[in-house]
Homo-oligomer: A and B are copies of this chain.
Amino acid sequence: MGDINGFGDPQPRKKWILNAFSMSSSGHVASGLWRHPRNRTHEYKNIQYWIDLAKILDGNFHGLFLADMLGVYDVYKVPGNLKPALPGAARFPISDPSLPIAAMAAVTKSLSSGITASTTYENPFLLARRYSTLDYLTNGRVAWNVVTSYLESAAKNLGLETQISHDERYAIAEEYMEVVYKLLESSWRTDAVVLDKEKREYTDPDRVRRINHKGKYFSVAGPRLIEPSRQRTPFIFQAGASKAGKSFAIKHAKAMFLPGMEVAAVKKQVQEIRAEAIQLGRDANSIKFIPGILVIVDETDDLAQKKYEEYLSYANLKGSLALFGGWTGTDLGKHGDDEDFKFSDNGVATELALGEPQAKVIKSSKTVADILERWIKEAGVDGFNLSYAVNLGDFEAIVKWLIPELKTRGVFWDPVRAEGMSMRENYLDDGLGPRLRADHPGSKFKWDN
């Protein structure tokens, strides 16, 4: 158990990635918890909420991951029915997650942001400019969580009669990534902006070029409109659960968010993905595995349990069922409104009532840390994507109770050293700088390093 007894290991221990998981929405995984008196997520639309959240996370968490959706979870009971999602605030209403980032960047030193955007519905030329701009505004502290968007309701918002099929969405996404890599890696040399006042040359015209991409789905002349940012291609997250999604993630992403309620199941996923990565010529150890988990921590196991029970009294099962319908396309309305779904895994309780199928750890800091250690060691994961039931409160509790324990064990990262470093450097911690790694498929588009 590493440095748990204070004697120190012969070697420094691997540091854990601590990711905070949220949405720019009234509700996220724990439906109904907007009613909790300390919960502030209904302020998702106000700038001060984001500034306060950023200040709590900065210096503690590596990054904040913001999921997103472009439609409503409207599968529950009557397909196309808006109503069940509304009372429980099941990820609806929801705002644009890219827009508060600048205000958060201005008040933080090492916190990164992972922002979701869809390859099915956003134009790649506009998206490339957006992430380049964010990469500048955050000084290289931004990731793109690549999604292909799975909601039928999103398709109908974005101009389609029905969804593009899953496999075609991934085929589009493959070409989309190529366009984005060309724009971000290939159209400007790093030394293009010379600011040579003598020669009256802001940009050297020989160091910028078009990409002239013409493919099956996209036609983009380029060049990208903004000069080279620190990371160029943002750090890439992915959370693909389907076979095509996983293959896509293995190819393009360096941090994968895994669902999963049990150590053994996550371990199996990690092993399978590493094996597939090796087949694809990627460095298997360079992919970071980050399972989602809900940590409710307090001074003692008992106080944590009491807090959890108090949270449960606010949970909204209807909202959870609407969410579940959205994730799976399966209507659980037929199971009856008061049915619950329970699993357990050695101190880890999971209940649909507090959100999506993910592990929950409800204990004192030492017990939480022991359970998380088991995930790290047995499942081979690199850190945790920590969700909340009450926000800001559950993140504050992690900072107050859990992080001191992680420091004692020698697994807490060094956020002071991270100041001024890019997200890619902070998550991969391999000393290889802010740009795409050599084994990444976007690397072959680099005009220069």
Map CB proximity to B onto A300-339 as digits: 1 under 8 Å, 0 otherwise. Answer: 0000000000000000100000000000000000000000
Interface check A35, CB cutoff 8 A? yes
Interface size class of A (residues with CB under 8 A): 35 or more
Query: In whole Å, how far is A193's beta carbon from the nearest beta carbon of chain B?
Result: 7
Whether the pair B159, A219 counts as a contact (CB closer than 8 A) is: yes
Given A103-B106, A103-B137, does the pair A83, B205 have CB atoms closer than 8 Å?
yes
CA distance A205 to B89 in the complex (A): 10
Whether the pair A87, B121 counts as a contact (CB closer than 8 A) is: no
The 5 A-B residue pairs whose C-beta atoms are closest, nearest first, are A89-B202, A156-B221, A83-B205, A102-B103, A45-B136
Residues in chain B near residue A34, CB distance under 8 A:
195, 202
Whether the pair B87, A42 counts as a contact (CB closer than 8 A) is: no
CA distance A94 to B70 in the complex (A): 27
Closest to A83 in B: B205
CA distance A202 to B90 in the complex (A): 9
Q: List 19 A-B contacts (CB under 8 A).
A: A42-B202, A46-B136, A47-B106, A70-B125, A70-B126, A83-B205, A92-B203, A93-B203, A95-B136, A95-B226, A96-B129, A98-B99, A99-B134, A103-B106, A126-B158, A156-B221, A157-B222, A159-B220, A200-B316
Query: In whole Å, how far is A101's beta carbon from the nearest beta carbon of chain B?
Result: 7
Closest to A138 in B: B47
Query: In whole Å, how far is A442's beta carbon from the nearest beta carbon of chain B?
Result: 19
- Chain A interface, DSSP helix/strand/loop, else mixed: loop
Whether the pair A133, B47 counts as a contact (CB closer than 8 A) is: no
Closest to A209 in B: B82
CA distance A394 to B418 in the complex (A): 37
Query: In whole Å, how far is A95's beta carbon from the nearest beta carbon of chain B?
Result: 4
Given A87-B201, A126-B121, does the pair A225, B101 have CB atoms closer than 8 Å?
no
CA distance A392 to B59 in the complex (A): 33
Map CB proximity to B onto A88-122 as digits: 1 under 8 Å, 0 otherwise. Answer: 11001111101111110110000000000000011
Given A87-B203, A103-B137, A159-B220, does the pair A195, B42 have CB atoms closer than 8 Å?
yes
Closest to A202 in B: B89
Residues in chain B near residue A50, CB distance under 8 A:
102
Whether the pair A32, B200 counts as a contact (CB closer than 8 A) is: yes
Interface check A123, CB cutoff 8 A? yes
Residues in chain B near residue A158, CB distance under 8 A:
123, 125-126, 220
Q: Which of the residues B92, B125, B208 comes within 8 Å of A225, measured between beta carbons?
A: B92
Whether the pair B32, A94 counts as a contact (CB closer than 8 A) is: no
CA distance A72 to B221 in the complex (A): 11
Interface check A272, CB cutoff 8 A? no
Interface check A216, CB cutoff 8 A? no
Interface check A51, CB cutoff 8 A? yes
Whether the pair B94, A225 counts as a contact (CB closer than 8 A) is: yes
Whether the pair B195, A225 counts as a contact (CB closer than 8 A) is: no
In chain A between 26 and 42, which residues have their CB closer than 8 angstroms to a CB of chain B?
26-27, 32, 34-35, 42
Which of the listed residues A69, A88, A99, A205 has the most CB atoms from chain B within 10 Å of its own CB?
A99
CA distance A50 to B138 in the complex (A): 13
Map CB proximity to B onto A59-92 as digits: 1 under 8 Å, 0 otherwise. Answer: 0000000000111100000000011101111001
Whether the pair B159, A96 counts as a contact (CB closer than 8 A) is: no
Closest to A228 in B: B93
Closest to A222 in B: B157
CA distance A106 to B203 in the complex (A): 32
Closest to A188 in B: B93
CA distance A195 to B32 in the complex (A): 11
Interface check A447, CB cutoff 8 A? no
